[in-house]
Amino acid sequence: MLDIEILGLKMKNPLILASGVVDMTPELLKRAHREGAGAVVTKSIGKEPRKGYENPTIVELPYGLINAMGLPNPGWEAFLEEFKGEKFDFPVIVSIFGGAPEEFAFLAEKLQEVADAFELNLSCPHAKGYGMEIGQDPNNVYEVVKAVKDVTDKPIIAKLTPNTNDITKLGLAAEKAGADAVSAINTLKAIAIDIYAKRPILNNKIGGYSGPGIKPIALRAVYDLARVLDIPIIGIGGITTWQDAVEFLLAGASALQIGTAVYLRGFSVFKEIAQGIENYLREEGFKSVHEIVGLALKV
């Protein structure tokens, strides 16, 4: 009832561990799958090792998180070494980032043996020279996707930024360049201030806002993208309950990524949400999760 196939990848359910959340080692990725995730996305990997920003890097709010990690990662060579010899019986999507199309293409070539698919981080809102700074321009999105498609046959997912006046332009650029899917959305640019220290709390000052507070924005982005794209959409943004997940599926998402909810509540959210979706499908008379994807678009 919940099993799906997307981008040629078979998953036991449409729930995916999002990049940047408890994904530091192969064992954590395997645990996410054991705990109910249908697939996983790795941390974002770059050409060179990055320490990321100094603490504080996370602010917990009553309605989500603001984080500015700074894309910490071991670099592609150490990442490849860490995953050498590891076997996975579920899809592993490798997230990559770079400052130019050539960097994305380089990483896709080097990491093909680990990846069942690649997610292109075109949307991180707090790393200078990367992510959102590239991904706000449809021309850049097109060039990055095309460069990666030229070097690999693995499925390509373009992760889009909500920090734009029209996310559909980014989605259409990715589709035109040959992306196999898009994921939306990444975090919203945000800030938190300590009223006693009288300064921004995060070391980087600006961070990315995630969690329940961004769900309506993410849902609208998925809905808008589903109206204009022919390729699948992976919904991300504030999915905390099975009801949230069903909303995204009805809005046109074929699969869903869960991040902040895992950080706040643990791996158990995957089984809870999967069970809730299954109960909903039975109660509403559906035989497969595929049957509800995009139903809200037909009204």
Q: Is 69 annotated as a binding residue?
A: yes
Q: Is 146 annotated as a binding residue?
A: no
Question: Which is catalytic among the residues 17, 37, 114, 124?
Answer: 124
Q: Is 259 annotated as a binding residue?
A: yes
Q: Is 210 annotated as a binding residue?
A: no
Q: Is 71 annotated as a binding residue?
A: yes
Q: Is 139 annotated as a binding residue?
A: no
Q: Is 95 annotated as a binding residue?
A: no
Q: Is 121 annotated as a binding residue?
A: yes
Instruction: Compute the distance between CA of residue 83 and CA of residue 116 in angstroms, rounded to an integer.
Output: 13
Q: Cα–Cα distances in Å, from 14 out to 77, 179, 226, 244, 297?
A: 30, 19, 17, 13, 19
Instruction: Compute the distance between CA of residue 142 and CA of residue 137 in angstroms, rounded to an integer.
Output: 9
Q: Is 205 annotated as a binding residue?
A: no
Q: Is 237 annotated as a binding residue?
A: yes
Q: Is 111 annotated as a binding residue?
A: no
Q: Is 135 annotated as a binding residue?
A: no
Q: 11 by DSSP, 3-state: which?
A: strand
Q: Are strands 206-210 and 64-67 parallel, antiparallel or unpaired?
A: antiparallel
Q: Is 240 annotated as a binding residue?
A: no
Instruction: Compute the distance between CA of residue 299 and CA of residue 297 in angstroms, rounded to an integer.
Output: 6
CB 123 within 8 A of CB 16: no
177: left (phi over 0), alpha (psi -120 to 50) or beta: alpha
124 among known catalytic residues: yes
Q: Is 203 annotated as a binding residue?
A: no
Q: Are strands 156-159 and 181-184 parallel, antiparallel or unpaired?
A: parallel
Instruction: Compute the distance between CA of residue 158 and CA of residue 147 in angstroms, rounded to an integer.
Output: 12
What lies within 8 Å, CB to CB, of 47 at 6+ separation is: 75, 76, 98, 103, 106, 107
What is the number of helices (H) and of strands (E) in the chain? 10, 16
Annotated binding-site residues for FMN read 19, 43-44, 121, 159, 185, 211, 237-238, 259-260
Question: Residues within the annotated binding site for substrate?
Answer: 43, 67-71, 121, 186-187
Sequence ranges of the binding site:
19, 43-44, 67-71, 121, 159, 185-187, 211, 237-238, 259-260
Catalytic positions are 124
